[in-house]
Structure 1
Amino acid sequence: MKIGVLALQGAVAEHAAAIKAVDAQPVIIKHAEELAEIDGLLLPGGESTAMRKLIDFLDLLEPLQKFAAVKPVFGTCAGLILLAKQIEGQDDAHIGAMNISVSRNSFGRQVDSFEASLPIENVAADFPAVFIRAPKIEAVSEGVKVLAKINGEIVCAQEGHLLGCSFHPELTTDVRLMEHFKQMIATSLLERNISV
């Protein structure tokens, strides 16, 4: 199984290491044609506005939108913002594939970073979630399953083959959320009658 990491900015090496830790092959993605090689894609944390500028510069927006329409995508932190159909205080979305509304930097600035033991439905009872300038999911539409909340705020959700979280799973050694994404890819491959 080949899982891509959008390598424009952010924790690319850490995501690649997490992919290896679940016995899948990481593929660094910088160009549209490379998307054809992979079974699923990770959108890492970083700075969503800077990422969007690079996506536009490299003509990646439409290829990413087409990919997310049919293949599994997992957005973490800034990657969650890229996936969302609606961003609070902003007219336009980025990839806009997932039926959620998000707000940027909702948990404060860099100095307000924290870690919490988080129950994630169907994944873990005690996932070590690292929040750094994290966004939050303000609202979800029908068909989106909320997987985790902290203090009543939604921080992880899934819509079919799309997964998003506010925190940074790649900054821990816990690979249970990555295992969950790997299983989502396996399910997607089976549904599309592609052997794993």
Structure 2
Amino acid sequence: MKRIGVLALQGAFAEHIVMLRQLGAEAVPVRLPEELEGLDGLVIPGGESTTIGKLMHLSGFNVSLQRLLADRFPVLGTCAGMILLAKQVIGISSYSLAAIDIKVRRNAFGRQVDSFEVDLQIFHNYFLSLVD
């Protein structure tokens, strides 16, 4: 069984762990650089790329991960993770691993403050059925 780490500093790491486990992998949260040891791959999840990048920088994660990336260690980035892995970022990006030769546009669909989650109560079209 493959042992896949999910960077668990911020963002959607819990959802990635659940999905990887459903796919049969041994998925583990990774919060410290030394937890990269013994992994078969790493997922950098979505979240806020500046926050994840800053936390990686403060903890020394970026240095450890860049060493692994230089040795062709398998890493998948989703959303913010992809932004952090990209060699070229359009828009403000303070932190980058510059590991994948891609160009990404940060916040292409708008800022995160423009998106939200809400509990929504769905009801049948009772009122519309009264209109002929």
Query: What TM-score, normalized by structure 1, do the two folds share?
Result: 0.54
User: Aligned partner of 1:55: which letter?
Assistant: M
Q: CA deviation at 1:103?
A: 1.0
Is 1:94 aligned to 2:66, yes or no?
no
User: Aligned partner of 1:74: which letter?
Assistant: L
Indicate if the aligned counterparts of 1:83 and 1:96 stay in contact, CA closer than 8 A.
yes
Match of 1:58 in 2: 59
Match of 2:128 in 1: none
Indicate if the aligned counterparts of 2:62 and 2:97 stay in contact, CA closer than 8 A.
yes
Runs of at least 4 residues off by over 3 Å: 89-93, 109-113
Which among 76, 81, 90 is matched to residue 83 of structure 2?
81
Q: Residues 9-32 of structure 1: CA distance to partner in whole angstroms, max 9, x if unpaired?
A: 011110000110110101111111
Q: Percent identity?
A: 48
Q: Residues 128-187 of structure 1: CA distance to partner in whole angstroms, max 9, x if unpaired?
A: xxxxxxxxxxxxxxxxxxxxxxxxxxxxxxxxxxxxxxxxxxxxxxxxxxxxxxxxxxxx
Unmatched segments (≥5 aa) in structure 1: 114-196
User: Aligned partner of 1:38: which letter?
Assistant: L
Q: CA deviation at 1:77?
A: 0.4
Match of 2:129 in 1: none
Match of 2:123 in 1: none
Query: What TM-score, normalized by structure 2, do the two folds share?
Result: 0.78
Tell me, in whole angstroms, the C-alpha distance in 2 between the residues paired with 1:11 and 1:91: 20
User: Aligned partner of 1:4: which letter?
Assistant: G
Structure of larger gyration radius: 2
User: Aligned partner of 2:37: which letter?
Assistant: A
Q: CA deviation at 1:52?
A: 1.1
Unmatched segments (≥5 aa) in structure 2: 117-132
Is 1:4 aligned to 2:5, yes or no?
yes
Report the aligned-residue RMSD. 1.8
Distance 1:52 1:74, change over 3 A: same
Q: What does residue range 144-183 of structure 1 map to in structure 2 within 5 Å?
A: none
Tell me, in whole angstroms, the C-alpha distance in 1 between the residues paired with 2:43 and 2:18: 12
